[in-house]
């Protein structure tokens, strides 16, 4: 996203290998402009793996002033649905990418694909095969043995055309026969041994209804979808490398002019995360999470609800980069990108999670004054706000200790600290409950220290956050941690459901600045010294619910280090 490379620009050092290819092609005048596509199957919600592909497909198109099509790869009729189409389109727009005014559908090309299949038959490059699966095994061979030409190979073009038409008309049972590409039964690449390109499948398609009972296979359909849309560069993950000869074969066999080029890159894998659609679906269906957009899910909608900004997700992809090397990315990298973005953009507010009452015995009863607080020290344009201050305050219980250990600079009996944006206060007396737990601190404040500095130059080491007891509002918190407690859930055939982190969601009540009651769902703030929080859509007027997006520091790696 960051480097606005111009088409035809000199190759720039630091480009990833895909951008280098695109850049070279433009310099060489191979294309007037480039076209990419993002081709999700509408059978699930987009996840952080798709994010990597989206940032590449749309990012390259944007940087080189080309176009990226959003294309639903809806050639498998059984699991697809418009619910998914809508969520996919919404997620991509939210990420800040533009796919123009229309969504493309592979199923819109079914007629054209059927014609292409007929053309292959006419050219002697496809044939109907009615071998049972068992018999096909015998002809196919395996990785050590070459295959042999199946009987269907010798059928005439006329016969094949007639049979294929009857397949389309529904004259045969599901699975009774298939259309195969006539390539090379001897090929060392098993995908090139006369692969199936059409199968009979009676299933209602969510857009085509029952119009079709034959459906094209991915390896045949995908190059055609790309070619029909004028795609110049078709990016996909490494597992498709071995399918590339077939991708090229389909278009060559049809003499397609200016065929698109498939280029593979390594897929994203994240520690502490599962990404397979099947597993994500299971988490939702079996209620391990509260839905696709549960803030613990690695879905785009889940990360959004969690409060992760779109810019942070894009930056994450930039920092992961594009290579051909498979590796696992530490989920901490994602968290760091979120922290960096929110540090720049999130307004600071006060919230007290474990309140301890403080009474300032020398502050006038019933008086309220307003103290100026900086909204975001990283962003002067964010301005300031007025914080109400009075005789009774709440501070964080953990900011006080009866017997402070060495290195603890916060409040303790007899000790003085700074209230953020406020005054110095000194703890004069501690009221304890029957169990000996502090319930109230009686303090004095120094009126000379308004704004946080003493005119006599005396220093305090600790600065703590606080709220005016008379003004504080209540809020509910959802404190999230990683959904899984192991780095590689599901590895070594362990059931990933046994590796869920039992503490991935904890709830708490807290006190907040009254100004936070004006936030809208989706707004993100930093609760000073606590972390970044995002207002959840479950909030109702007067009863805000905040999701913890991420803690301020990487508390996890600290914990692990111990
Ligand atoms: P899953 O394996 O979770 O079912 P999929 O690859 O089948 O995912 P698609 O909807 O077909 O899901 O994916 C759309 C695009 O996103 C494809 O181009 C695919 O290569 C890419 N993609 C999916 N997962 C990842 C990943 N982990 N890293 C990078 N790209 C991915
Ligand atoms: Mg797929």
Distance CA 345, CA 382 (A): 9
Which domain does 320 fall in, by range? 277-347+478-561
pLDDT for residue 500:
98
Residue 175 lies in a domain: no
Per the prediction, the chain carries an average pLDDT of: 94
**Of 412, 437, 464, which residue is a domain's last?**
464
Whole-model pTM over 0.85 = yes
Residue nearest to atom 13 of ligand 1 (CA): 40
| Model confidence pLDDT, tens digit, residues 223-239 | 999 999 999 999 999 99
Give residue 40 CA to ligand 2 midpoint distance, Å: 7
Residue 291 lies in a domain: yes
Average pLDDT rounded to a whole number, residues 156-184: 98
Which of 129, 115, 246 lies closest to 179 in space, CA to CA?
Answer: 129
Please indicate, yes or no, whether residues 323 and 374 belong to a single structural domain of this protein. no
Distance CA 453, CA 465 (A): 16
Please indicate, yes or no, whether residues 284 and 303 belong to a single structural domain of this protein. yes
Query: Please, are residues 152 and 139 in contact by the beta-carbon 8 Å criterion?
Result: no
Please indicate, yes or no, whether residues 322 and 452 belong to a single structural domain of this protein. no
Which residue is listed with tokens 């990315």? 329
Instruction: With cut-offs at 50, 70 and 90, classify the pLDDT of residue 10.
Output: very low
Which of 275, 268, 252 lies closest to 489 in space, CA to CA?
Answer: 275
Residue 209 lies in a domain: no
pLDDT for residue 553:
84
| Model confidence pLDDT, tens digit, residues 334-384 | 999 999 999 999 999 999 999 999 999 999 999 999 999 999 999 999 999
Distance CA 506, CA 349 (A): 21
pLDDT for residue 81:
85
* Ligand 1 contact via 302 beta carbon (within 6 Å): no
Please indicate, yes or no, whether residues 230 and 104 belong to a single structural domain of this protein. yes
Which tokens in the block code for residue 207?
Answer: 């857009």
Please indicate, yes or no, whether residues 370 and 405 belong to a single structural domain of this protein. yes
pLDDT for residue 3:
42
Q: Is 277 a catalytic residue?
A: yes
| Model confidence pLDDT, tens digit, residues 422-443 | 999 999 999 999 999 999 999 9
* Ligand 1 contact via 53 beta carbon (within 6 Å): yes
Residue 139 lies in a domain: no
Q: How many CB atoms lie within 10 A of CB 196?
A: 15
Is the model's pLDDT at 7 over the cut of 80?
no
Distance CA 212, CA 205 (A): 8
* Ligand 1 contact via 39 beta carbon (within 6 Å): yes
Please indicate, yes or no, whether residues 482 and 555 belong to a single structural domain of this protein. yes
Distance CA 3, CA 298 (A): 27
Average pLDDT rounded to a whole number, residues 117-128: 98
- Which of 1-10, 239-248, 449-458 has the least mean pLDDT? 1-10
Please indicate, yes or no, whether residues 448 and 413 belong to a single structural domain of this protein. yes
Distance CA 466, CA 236 (A): 52
Residue in 16, 38, 40 to alter for ligand 1 test, most ligand atoms within 8 A of Cβ = 40
Which tokens in the block code for residue 422?
Answer: 């406020």
Please indicate, yes or no, whether residues 369 and 492 belong to a single structural domain of this protein. no
Please indicate, yes or no, whether residues 97 and 8 belong to a single structural domain of this protein. yes
Domain count, the chain: 3
pLDDT for residue 119:
98
Instruction: With cut-offs at 50, 70 and 90, classify the pLDDT of residue 559.
Output: low
Which tokens in the block code for residue 510?
Answer: 């807290």
Share of the chain above pLDDT 90, in %: 94
* Ligand 1 contact via 236 beta carbon (within 6 Å): yes
**Of 404, 436, 464, which residue is a domain's last?**
464
Residue 270 lies in a domain: no
Share of the chain above pLDDT 70, in %: 96
* Ligand 1 contact via 267 beta carbon (within 6 Å): yes
Is the model's pLDDT at 27 over the cut of 50?
yes
Average pLDDT rounded to a whole number, residues 136-140: 94
Instruction: With cut-offs at 50, 70 and 90, classify the pLDDT of residue 2.
Output: very low
What ligand 1 atom has the least distance to the C-alpha of 46? 10
Please indicate, yes or no, whether residues 357 and 460 belong to a single structural domain of this protein. yes
Residue nearest to atom 22 of ligand 1 (CA): 50
C-alpha distances (whole Å) from 304 to each of 47, 202, 294, 299, 340 are: 11, 38, 10, 8, 16
Average pLDDT rounded to a whole number, residues 165-193: 97
Average pLDDT rounded to a whole number, residues 267-284: 96
Is the model's pLDDT at 9 over the cut of 50?
no
**Of 415, 437, 464, which residue is a domain's last?**
464
Please indicate, yes or no, whether residues 444 and 547 belong to a single structural domain of this protein. no
Distance CA 158, CA 343 (A): 69
Q: Which ligand is nearest to the CA of 269?
A: 1
Q: What CATH number is associated with residue 13?
A: 3.40.50.620
Residue 156 lies in a domain: no
Residue 431 lies in a domain: yes
Please indicate, yes or no, whether residues 365 and 441 belong to a single structural domain of this protein. yes
pLDDT for residue 14:
81
Q: What CATH number is associated with residue 318?
A: 2.40.240.10
Residue 183 lies in a domain: no
Catalytic-role residue among 19, 71, 261, 277: 277
Which residue is listed with tokens 């190759």? 11
Is the model's pLDDT at 477 over the cut of 60?
yes
């Amino acid at each position: 996203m960051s480097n606005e490379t111009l088409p035809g620009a000199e190759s720039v050092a630091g480009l990833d290998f895909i951008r280098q290819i695109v850049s070279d092609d433009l310099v060489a005048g191979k294309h007037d402009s480039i076209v990419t596509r993002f081709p999700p199957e509408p059978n699930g919600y987009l996840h952080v793996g798709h994010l990597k592909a989206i940032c590449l497909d749309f990012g390259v198109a944007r940087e080189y002033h080309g176009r990226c099509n959003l294309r639903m790869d809806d050639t498998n009729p059984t699991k697809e649905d418009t619910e998914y189409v809508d969520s996919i389109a919404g997620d991509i727009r939210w990420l800040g990418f533009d796919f123009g005014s229309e969504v493309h559908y592979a199923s819109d090309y079914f007629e054209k694909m059927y014609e292409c299949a007929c053309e292959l038959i006419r050219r002697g490059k496809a044939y109907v095969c009615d071998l049972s699966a068992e018999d096909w095994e015998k002809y196919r061979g395996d990785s050590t043995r070459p295959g042999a030409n199946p009987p269907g190979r010798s059928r005439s073009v006329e016969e094949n055309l007639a049979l294929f038409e009857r397949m389309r008309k529904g004259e045969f049972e599901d699975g009774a026969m298939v259309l195969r590409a006539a390539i090379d039964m001897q090929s060392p690449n098993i995908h090139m041994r006369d692969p199936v390109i059409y199968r009979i499948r009676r299933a209602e398609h969510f857009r085509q209804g029952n119009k079709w009972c034959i459906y094209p296979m991915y390896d045949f359909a995908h190059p055609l979808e790309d070619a029909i849309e004028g795609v110049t560069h078709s990016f996909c993950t490494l597992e498709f490398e071995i399918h590339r000869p077939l991708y090229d074969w389909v278009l060559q066999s049809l003499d397609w002019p200016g065929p698109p080029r498939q280029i593979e890159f390594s897929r994203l894998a994240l520690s502490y995360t599962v990404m397979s659609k099947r597993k994500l679906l299971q988490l939702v269906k079996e209620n391990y999470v509260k839905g696709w957009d549960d803030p613990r899910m690695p879905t785009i909608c889940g990360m959004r609800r969690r409060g992760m900004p779109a810019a942070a997700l894009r930056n994450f992809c930039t920092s992961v980069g594009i290579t051909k090397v498979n590796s696992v990315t530490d989920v901490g990298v994602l968290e760091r990108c979120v922290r960096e973005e929110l540090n720049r953009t999130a307004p600071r507010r006060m919230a007290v999670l474990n309140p301890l009452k403080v009474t300032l015995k020398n502050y006038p009863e019933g008086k309220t004054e307003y103290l100026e607080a900086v909204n975001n020290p990283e962003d002067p344009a964010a301005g300031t706000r007025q914080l109400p201050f009075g005789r009774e305050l709440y501070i964080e219980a953990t900011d006080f200790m009866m017997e402070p250990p060495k290195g603890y600079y916060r409040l303790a009996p007899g000790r003085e600290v700074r209230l953020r944006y406020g005054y110095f206060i000194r703890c004069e007396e501690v009221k304890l409950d029957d169990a000996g737990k502090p319930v109230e601190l009686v303090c004095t404040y120094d009126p000379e220290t308004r704004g946080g500095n003493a005119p006599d130059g005396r220093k305090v080491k600790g600065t703590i956050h606080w709220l005016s007891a008379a003004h504080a509002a209540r809020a509910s918190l959802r404190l999230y941690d990683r959904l899984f407690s192991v780095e590689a859930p599901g590895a070594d055939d362990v059931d990933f459901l046994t590796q869920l982190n039992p503490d991935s969601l904890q709830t708490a009540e807290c006190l907040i600045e009254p100004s936070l009651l004006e936030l809208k769902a989706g707004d993100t703030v930093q609760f000073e010294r606590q972390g970044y929080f995002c207002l959840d859509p479950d909030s109702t007027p007067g009863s805000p619910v905040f999701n913890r997006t991420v803690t301020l520091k990487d508390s996890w790696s600290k914990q692990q280090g111990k």
